[in-house]
Amino acid sequence: AGDYAINLGGVNDKSAVLIDNATLDSALSNNTMAVSFWQNTTAIGNTSSFWIHSPSAGSNERGFQGHVPWGNGTIYFDQSGCCGGGQRLTVGGKVVVNEWQHFVFQRDADGNQQIWVNGEKAAEALGTAEALEAFTKITIGAEGNSLNNSMAGRIDEFAVWNRMLTAEEIGTLSGGSATTEILNPGDFDGDGLSDADEYASQASDPTKADSDGDGLDDAYELAIGTQQLVADTDSDGILDGAEVSAGTDPSDSDSDDDGYSDGDEIKTGTNPLDANSTPPNLIAYFNFERSSGSSVNDLSAWGNDATVVRPDQTTIVSGGTGPSPATSADFQGGYLNIPGVSMSKVISGEGSYTLAAWIKPSDLGGNKFLFGQSSQGIHNGIRNGGFLHQAHWGADTNGATNLNDYDASANDGWVHAAWVYDGPNDIGKMYLDGVEDYSGDKRAPNGSGNLIVGGSNGGGDNFRGLVDEVAVWDIAAPADVIAALAAGTSPLDISTTPSTFDVTSFSYNVGTGDLDISWTSDSGKSYGLEYSLDLKTWVDLEVTVEADAEAATYNLPGDQNPLVGQSDVFLRVYEK
């Protein structure tokens, strides 16, 4: 094994080589290490050929050591203490006196432990080795700090590795080649990056071609700028490899810059590469029709299922209202936690919300909040003796109507309530049965966390009574959407996409029945009008208005107006 070796004398004469400050940090970080050397044993005794110290390991700082051999001729390989099944590997009958032999002791990050003698694997334990513990120094030829049990003979080509040696590499060494023969830059994991570069950068695992398991080789990740040790570089909920396959940018959580993460777009079925394809604004909808136990299914495209907190105080009962009248939820001290509906954008002032539900309160006294956050923030519901209330932890307002005085008999005590907040413009609104009950200045709430239903500030001040058709949007819905909900339309059947044209004026003469309506238009386009008495059924007026400018107007004389005498009438314009 070369021209020179170190002669360590006889058994237990305390001859040894000490290497201080040997922290072996990279091996510790990899939880992988190998020791290789040549040894010519001149006498069998209770000996240690090497001892790598770990003060926390116990058994005289036994971090990584080999009795090669002990007095009974058995080789003992200990690591991270002694002498349990996850610490010790043994093999007997392998040491030959007065003969040069090659030895390798190694373990990998998965806990596989091996002993190699003369290029052959002599012993192995799979997946049981305890994790490596911090190292401080190396003793070659004897045991730990005491230098007891020093070996008899010579040692050569002693090397410590921060990786496992391959069978081919061990064969090269045991065949007589110098250690430097396998020090040349290699690529153990075949990922296109040299082991030396991977060790130096600490940005990837040289034993794994795909260090983070995201479906991309480390070399490819280095080339495109993603992180080799982070499976989801941009934290959008999609693994880097899946993003490359889908054509999205694994370094940009919003590839098309439409304000929605790629993960949310894929989850809701929209195109993360098309800025005009965005997820629906309806981000949660619960009608309690097929709910049971401790969870409630979200019927929106987002899949923001709710967890029932205090399920003994939040039960599903027969009888509801609106488009899902079979069942409703009876809130009597419990609430729904919706972890998928974050309130962070609303808190920052850039986001908006619309929170709507059918409610049949059983208690109008005190604070009975229906919508809140897991920590402080919004608390919207009933307050101050029976008023609808919108509160942003300091920006608190009542609606105009006291529910104690409100006649809800037409719907068996059920009323439709909605709370709307336009974040960018700091305007809050409340609606009672589709009619605006409050509108005014509002500021963004404080607090943190996600939306809850049935209480506020982590689940206190709980709403009491029946609840049905809970719907949540991440926009400030216009009045016509709220009116449609109050008229019994399902949230799934309502579009909140803004119209490409706006009604600019509307007048109605109660005496004559004459009706005039104007709207923005595109020259050359044709428009029609429909009316509804309940926002469910729409009847076409069967007229065509040809627009020759940026505004169009239609006049309906009273003697031709089928709406005369109706108490509630809704009109809409559509492009033909």
Q: What is the pLDDT of residues 463-512, one digit of tens each?
A: 999 999 999 999 999 998 999 999 999 999 887 765 556 778 888 887 78
Is the domain covering 6-182 a CATH 2.60.120.200 domain?
yes
The answer to whether residues 450 and 373 touch, using CB atoms and an 8 Å cutoff, is yes
Q: Are 198 and 222 in contact (CB under 8 A)?
A: no
**Confidence check: pLDDT of 100 > 60:** yes
Predicted pLDDT at 376: 92
Domain boundaries, the chain: 6-182, 282-493, 503-575
**pTM higher than 0.85 for the full model?**
no
Average pLDDT over residues 132-149: 93
| Sequence-ordered strand ranges (E) for 392-463 | 396-402, 415-422, 427-432, 435-441, 448-453
pLDDT band at residue 550 under the 50/70/90 scheme: confident
CA–CA distance, 443 with 391 (Å, rounded to integer): 10
Position 2 pLDDT exceeds 60: no
pLDDT of residue 50: 97
Does the pLDDT value for residue 180 go beyond 80? no
Q: What is the pLDDT of residues 324-359, one digit of tens each?
A: 899 999 999 999 999 999 999 999 989 999 999 999
Q: What is the mean pLDDT of residues 28-35?
A: 94
Q: Which residues pair with 552 in a beta bridge?
A: 519
Q: What is the mean pLDDT of the chain?
A: 91
Does pLDDT of 381 surpass 60? yes
Tokens of 499: 């119209």
Shared fold status for 6-182 and 282-493:
yes
* Distance, CA of 57 to chain centre: 37
Alpha helix positions (H), 38-190: 167-174
Backbone φ, ψ for residue 559 (5° rounding): -75, -10
* DSSP secondary structure letter of residue 132: P
Q: Which residues on adjacent β-strands are paired with residue 103? A: 37, 117
Which helix (H) or strand (E) segment holds residue 263: the answer is helix 262-268
Q: Write down the CATH number for the domain with range 503-575.
A: 2.60.40
Containing 171, the helix (H) or strand (E) segment is helix 167-174
257 vs 266: CA distance, rounded Å: 14
Give tens-digit pLDDT for 52-89.
Answer: 999 999 899 999 999 999 999 999 999 999 998 889 99
pLDDT tens by residue, 199-253: 888 899 988 889 999 999 999 999 999 999 999 999 999 999 999 998 999 999 9
Rg (CA), the chain: 38
pLDDT value at residue 500: 58
Whether 288 shows a pLDDT value over 60: the answer reads yes
pLDDT at 1: 47
- Class of 282-493 per CATH? mainly beta
Average pLDDT rounded to a whole number, residues 108-119: 96
